[in-house]
Amino acid sequence: MPRRLSGAGPRHLMPPACIARVAAFLLLVPVPGARSLGLYSPDDPLVLLAADTLERHIFNSTSAWVVEFYASWCGHCKAFAPTWKALANDVKDWRPAVMLGVIDCADFSNKNICYKFGINSYPTLKFFKTFSKNPEDGIQFSNHEKTVQALRETIITSVERQEDVRPSASPPLRPASMGELRDFFLRNNVTYLAVIFEKDDSFLSREVALDMLQFENIAVRRVLQSNEELVRQFNITTFPSGLLVINNGSCSSIPGHADWRSQYTKFLRNLPGVFRGNVFIPTVLPTAQPTTALALWKVVDKRKLYMADLESAVLFTLRIEAAVFPYLRGQRLSALKDYVSVLVEHFAGRSVVKNYLRNLDLWLRPKKKVLQSEWEEALRNKKEFPNATLSERPFWVGCQGSTPNFRGFPCGLWTLFHHLTVQAACQNQSVSASSDTPEVLPTMRRYVRYFFGCRMCAEHFENMAAESMHEVRTRNQAVLWLWSRHNRVNARLAGTPSDDPKFPKIQWPPKDLCPSCRYTQTEGSLRNEEKPTWDKDAVLLFLKRHFSEKNIFMEYFMEHRTRNGRNVAQQNYEAEWKLEAERRGEENGQGSQKELEEDKKTEQPEIGKVEEKKYALGKPGSPEPHKPSIVKMSTKAKEMVEDIVDLDTFSEQHFKSKALKMARQISIRQRRSKRDTGLFLMENEGRHSLDYIRESLRHKNLGVQFSGIQVEDVKKKNSLRENQWIHILGMGFSRLDVSLCILLYLLSSVCLLGMYTFFRMRMSYRKGRSGYPLT
C-alpha cells in the first residue's frame, strides 16, 4: 500500500492535477544506484569513464588500459557488450596490471573527448600502455577479436610488448632463461616458483601469471619448448607441463588436464602460505550525471511523423557523424556535399532549419578540404543569423525507446531516409532525369558507407545496395527498395540485443496501419512462420502518405512549457508552419487548406493537450471564450483549476488590443494631417505600420486573426472604439466577475446615499432642538 502524505487525513485526497505533477517529478528524480543508463553498469568489473575522467586515469598510469569506445544506440555495440562483460569477468584478477574501461560516445557530454581520441566508428577498442602521454599512443584492436579468448590473447601480446617500460604493475611475461631460474630464490623472497613449459605460440603461462598477480608468496615463470637446455635439465617430454619448485630445493609436478589454466590457477592458490594480497584497484565513476537521463514517456501516435525526430536525425548526422573526422576530403567530402544538397532540396523542415542547410550548402560547395575545426565552426549557430539555426541536442518523440539505449538515432535515420525518398518521388521524376541535385538513394548509400558509426551495420547496408540498388530506375522504385530493405534489416535484428522489447522489430507497416497492404491475414510479426505477401501498389500509396510533408506534426517539439502544461511556443510555431503549408498549397494548386482541415478532423486529441479553438476571436458568431471566475478561489481551488485557465485567450486579447490601439493612433495622426473626420485609407506609412503590426503578431500566433483585418476592419474598429475600450477594460474577467462588480457598485452607492440621508436628517433634528447654537 502506498504511504499517505503526512498531514493528509483519510478524507483529504490529492487533486488529480497534483498527482500528475508529483508522478512527473518522481520520474525525473535520479534513482540511487542507477548511475549509468548505457550498456554497462557499476556492477560490471570494469571502469565507467567519462569526459572528465578518461585522460586523468589512462595517462601516466602504471597500469595498462584497454578502453572500449561505444555508442549506446549502436546495434553492434549492443551485440558486443556481453562479450566485453565476459572478458571483464575473466580477467578481473589481472588488475591493476590491466584495467578495462568503457565510455559512451553517444552521450553528448563525451562527444568532444571521443573526437580527441579519433573515434569514428563503434565499437572501437584501444590499448594504452603504461605511462601513455597522449591519445595517439592508443593502439586500436582489429575487428577480428570477437571472442573472449581472442581478446585475451591480444591484450597479453600488447602488454608483453611494453615490458621495457618500468615501473609496471604487470608481472614478467617474457620467457625465463637458465641464469634467471638458477638464481631465482636468491633475488626473490618467495616460497614457491611455478615453472610452466609450453609451446612457443601458447598463452597458458602468461594467463596463469596474470591470474596469480594478486596473490603473495608465489611467482610464475614461462619456459618455451625451444629452450632445449632447460627442457633436458628438467626432463620435460609433454607440453604443456608444470613444475612447482620450493625454496628448500624440492620439486614436484603440477597436475593438469584439458582445462589447464583453471587447473593450474586453482592448485597454486590453494598452496599453504599463498594468500591474496592487499592490491589497490582504482574504481572510476563519472563525476557528472549522465545526460541520457530517463525522460518522461511521451504519448505519441504511430500514424504521425514527428518533426522532432526528423530534425534530430539531421543534427546527429551533421554534428556527430560527420564531425568525428580530423579532416574531410576526397570521396568522403563529396558524399557529404551530396547529402547536404539532398537535404536542401527534399527535407521538409522548418524555415530556420532550411535556411541553416542552405547556408551550409553554399559554404561547403566550393571546398576541396575541410578541417574538423572548420566544420565545427560552420555548424555553429550564429547570432548574426537568428533565422538559420539547428538544434544543439536531439529530442526523440516517435523514435523514443523504452530506455535511452534503444531506438533513437537509428530509428530517426531510417525515418529521415524514408521521408527524403518520398519527397523526391512526389516530384514524379525518373532517376535518369537531369538535375543539379543528386539522387536520394545513391546519396544515402554513400553517407552510410563513409559516415555511419556502426561499421557492421554499414557493411550490411552496403551488401544490400551492391546486390540490387542498380536495378532501381524510378523514384517510386527507390521508395519501395528502401522499404523492403528496411524490413529485411528488421528480420535480421528481431530478437537480438538491439531489439527494443517495447517496440519489437516487425514487418512494416502492420495491419492496423495499412490493412490493404497485405494479401494475407498475418499480423506481420517476425515470430510468425507465415510470410506476408505485399500489395506493392498499396504499400507505395501508404508510404507516400505516411512519410509526406503533410503528415509531419509538431507535438512535443519545444522543451519549454507553461505552468499548466501547454506548450505555447510549440503552438505558435505550429500555426506559422500551417500558414506556410497553406501558401505552398495555393501556389501548387493542391488545396492544402482543405487537406489540413481533414487531417485536423481525423486527429485524435492527445492526453494533456488542450483542444485548439475553432473560432476566431472577434469574428461574428464567435462565442466568448470561457474565463473562470476569480471570486471565492482558495489556494486549493486554484490548484484544481490551474489546468483550465485560458492563458492563450488572455494573451490573444492583450496583444490584439495593443494592435488596435496602434492602428487607432495611426488613424488619429492621419486625420489630423489630412483634416479629415470621415473614414480614411492608409497610405504607404500606414501600410508599413500595419505590416509591422501583422509581423509582430505573427510571432505571437495571432497572424491568422490579424491577417484578416483589412482597411474596412480598421474603419469599423475605429467607429466602435468606445465598445472596444469597454471590452478591453473587462479583459481577463468573466461575466460573473463583471456582474458582481456592478452589483457591489450599486450596493455601495445605495449605502452611501443612505448614510448621506441619515446624517442630513440628524443635522436637521439637532437644529430644531432648543439650545442649539444659532449662527
Identify the CA nearest to 423 among candidates 600, 552, 595: 552
> DSSP H helical segments within 347-474, as ranges?
351-364, 372-379, 409-425, 440-451, 455-468
Query: How far apart, in whole angstroms, are the C-alpha atoms of residue 582 and residue 579?
Result: 5
- Residues 133 and 165 sit within 8 Å (Cβ to Cβ): no
Residue 18 appears among annotated catalytic residues? no
- Residues 585 and 595 sit within 8 Å (Cβ to Cβ): yes
| Cell numbers given for 188 | 626473490
Q: What is the H or E stretch that residue 48 is in? A: strand 47-48
Backbone angles phi and psi of 188, in degrees to 5: -130, 130
Instruction: Give the CA dihedral 377, 379, 382, 386, nearest 10 degrees.
Output: 170
Catalytic residue among 18, 77, 251, 411: 77
Residues 6+ apart with CB under 8 A from 265: 208, 211, 212
Query: How far apart, in whole angstroms, are the C-alpha atoms of residue 419 and residue 413?
Result: 10
Catalytic residue among 18, 74, 105, 514: 74
What is the CA angle 598-601-604, rounded to 5?
130
Q: What is the H or E stretch that residue 251 is in? A: strand 251-253
Question: How many other CB atoms are found less than 10 A from the CB of residue 158?
Answer: 17
**What is 603-663 written as a DSSP string?**
PPPPTT-PPPPSS-TTSTTPPPPP----TT--HHHHHHTGGG--HHHHHHHHHHHHHHHHH
Query: Counting Cβ atoms within 10 Å, is residue 262 exposed (0-12), middle (13-18) or buried (19+)?
Result: middle
Query: How far apart, in whole angstroms, are the C-alpha atoms of residue 615 and residue 104?
Result: 50
Q: Please tell me whether residue 194 adopts helix, strand or coil conformation.
A: strand
Place of cell 492563458: 647
- Residues 534 and 517 sit within 8 Å (Cβ to Cβ): yes
Query: How far apart, in whole angstroms, are the C-alpha atoms of residue 272 and residue 215?
Result: 12
Residue 77 appears among annotated catalytic residues? yes
- Residues 216 and 241 sit within 8 Å (Cβ to Cβ): no
Query: How far apart, in whole angstroms, are the C-alpha atoms of residue 407 and residue 476?
Result: 27
Q: Residue 198 CA to chain centroid, in angstroms?
A: 52
> DSSP H helical segments within 184-329, as ranges?
184-187, 204-211, 228-233, 260-269, 307-316
**What is 685-697 written as a DSSP string?**
HHHHHHHHHHHHH
- Residues 242 and 188 sit within 8 Å (Cβ to Cβ): no
Q: Before 240, cis peptide (omega within 30)?
A: yes
Place of cell 614457491: 192
Residues 6+ apart with CB under 8 A from 522: 511, 528, 530, 531, 532
> DSSP H helical segments within 512-591, as ranges?
536-546, 568-588
Rg for the chain, CA atoms, rounded: 38
Query: How far apart, in whole angstroms, are the C-alpha atoms of residue 349 and residue 552?
Result: 9
Report the catalytic residues: 74, 77
